[in-house]
Structure 1
Amino acid sequence: MDNPRLKQLSIRLLQVFITVVRLGNVSAAARQLHLTQPTVSLQLKKIAELVGEPLLESRDGVMRPTDVGEEVYRAACDILSRLDDLDDFLGGIKQGESGHIRIGLVTTAKYVMPRILGPFYRRFPKVQVTLSIGNRAHVLNRFAHQEDDLYLFSHPPAGESVLASRIITNPLKLIAPADHWAVGQKGLGFDVLKGERFIMREPGSATRMMFESWLSARGIELTDIMQIESNEAIRLSVASGLGLSVISAHTLSEGDMGPEKPAVLDVADFPLRSNWYLVARRDKRLPQSALQLIRFMAEHLGDCIDPGYVADNIEALHRVFTPSR
């Protein structure tokens, strides 16, 4: 049976609900929305009354959506996204020549996305881009809450809501201090290195996941691990003699470290083969400006970065993200 009260849901009520779900806290949502906490609480009560079901519950001090709340959240995100798209259309940007794109990036991808966005901006100077950069867990959380239009992952999330296409190869190299005994040796087996200290990113990092999967497949256990949650700090730590590491070739090539540069070791099976994937949600409509960026990458990615890193199927990229919805 239709619920006529749903037609009383205002855009403001939906905005409040989305903000509370994303922040998990009424007080934080009130601050972000420039409202008082009682006002936010009253609006949450009103939207629950209009829907006719509980929408939020407190778990470990965090406001989480109920099953019904999850459906309302998805519908609210879709409604606001479509209104944004309508606003773009009415503003005369049907062709994606202006507008706003929100992109979530894993930290290693921050080295390549600016190389793409620079030429894109020169061609479409009216398109605004917001980048949100963090570790994989952070970007996965943004994906779950539909906070961005596009994402760049080394290991894309799974599920029916995921659209993903490989766009850039991301080889992982084994590096050591420049004066390490293994530098210059050819065809080393990893067994001679497994007793060394290895500097690794935090658990859940895509690079760490890839390396640990490779170790596990060969029954290898490392005995000395040092954890650092920064690619730049890992690169400098290796160069300074703190240990060995596995790191993205893109990270390794960025910046000038002067004389303190790590060396790449010639080890069997390395570099490990990894890729970056452009990702979007199947259940979220992409704005025309985001589709314009996808078309731009499909046609010009090899002009923005070293063509040797470009995925061999890049010309089909736009077809992945424009299915029938």
Structure 2
Amino acid sequence: MKHITLRQIRIFESVARHLSFSRAAEDLHLTQPAVSMQIKQVEELAGVPLFAHHGKRIALTDGGHLVLRHCQVILADLNHAEQSLADLISGGTQHLRVGVITSGSRFFPHLINAFLHDRGDVELEMKVSPRDQLIAMLRSEQIDLAVMVRAPEMPHVAAQPFAEHPFVLVAAPAHALVGARAIARGRLGAECLIVRENGTDTRHAANEAFLHRAAPPRVMELGAGEAVKQAVMAGMGISLLSAHDVEDELRDGRLRQLDVQGFPLIRHWHAVYCSDRPLPPVARAFQQFLLGETAAHIVSGQRLPDQGRVQQHDGGGGR
């Protein structure tokens, strides 16, 4: 593959990270036919198929995984070179490259603002992406540190908890269970539980709380957090959602928190980074900031006080 171009490497890495031609095209500001053509050329250079097609879905082949690992190393080296040159030109300006999952986007800017308050020499690059994409960005060194709930279980990835992340059961204001106290979990068996798609933290929490039990509620799966909230507000069922995501709806009464035994379900936010390479000084400083009391106070201050909290579940941050 000695004739592969840097542009083709970036396109292949994006398609492999998203497992989607259309999302890679959107990410790179290209048309989907242009992305497809470049991937075809990369496969011709490789001499083996890099993607397996299953209907509208794609997956990496063994050859694809091999090429991806090398592409990630190349892109990581380029990122390091670009950052080193930028630091040289700027006379010492530091670059903080961090990411957070979508449900953390509400409080994360407050964390960043508090950290940067007395640091005028730091330039920020922040990504808000799904968990799997953040992990891929960490491994390819596009970011230095990520904030997520479920810590990855993989070699050379470290995770440190720094703040609680409660998941609360919510319903429409007119729901029959609203106002009841210490509701037994078994009473929810007749309810429709509205959930996100597999792979999300809210779905993982719902699976642990309900779907692996003997008599789980009926399930309705929707593909977006806002769609789940709207369905609950319309009276279509109940849902287990991040307290960060429903703070406004609980405050203004569009949703009500149910007082069910064993809830809220408590998980933790984690600072995640690659342990096989040193963190840049500014990223190390931000990691230490996250582990302090100020960060925990900022995160907890962005949600409502716990209601009916009976027990705490950690489970390694929902891993």
Q: Same fold (TM over 0.5)?
A: yes
The residue matched to 2:216 in structure 1 has which SS? Answer: coil
Structure 1 residues 21 and 149: alpha-carbon distance in aligned structure 2, compared to 1, 3 A threshold = same
The equivalent of 1:235 in structure 2 is: 229
Kept in 1: contact 2:244–2:302 (CA 8 A)? no
The equivalent of 1:162 in structure 2 is: 157
The equivalent of 1:316 in structure 2 is: none
Q: In 1, Cα distance between the equivalents of 2:29 and 2:173?
A: 49
Kept in 1: contact 2:163–2:295 (CA 8 A)? no
Structure 1 residues 146 and 186: alpha-carbon distance in aligned structure 2, compared to 1, 3 A threshold = same
The equivalent of 1:274 in structure 2 is: 267
The equivalent of 1:205 in structure 2 is: 200
Structure 2 alignment gaps of length 5 or more: 304-319
Which residue, 144, 148, 171 being the options, matches 1:153?
148
The equivalent of 1:99 in structure 2 is: 95
Structure 1 residues 271 and 55: alpha-carbon distance in aligned structure 2, compared to 1, 3 A threshold = farther
Asked if residue 304 in structure 1 is aligned to residue 298 in structure 2, the reply is yes
**CA displacement, residues 278-297 of structure 1 (integer Å, 9 cap, x when unaligned):** 11223455333322322333
Which residue, 170, 174, 182 being the options, matches 2:169?
174
Kept in 1: contact 2:76–2:141 (CA 8 A)? no
Aligned amino acid, residue 274 of structure 1: R
Which residue, 261, 268, 272 being the options, matches 2:254?
261
Kept in 2: contact 1:110–1:133 (CA 8 A)? yes
Tell me the CA shift for residue 127 of structure 1: 2.8
Cα RMSD of the aligned pairs, angstroms, is 4.0
Q: In 2, Cα distance between the equivalents of 1:113 and 1:56?
A: 42
The residue matched to 1:108 in structure 2 has which SS? Answer: helix
Identity across matched positions, percent: 19
Kept in 1: contact 2:171–2:255 (CA 8 A)? yes
Aligned length: 286
Give the 5 Å matches for 1:216-235.
Answer: 216=211, 218-223=213-218, 225-235=219-229
**CA displacement, residues 92-131 of structure 1 (integer Å, 9 cap, x when unaligned):** 665xx5324142x222111221121222343334433333
The residue matched to 1:250 in structure 2 has which SS? Answer: coil
Using the size of structure 1 for normalisation, the TM-score is 0.71
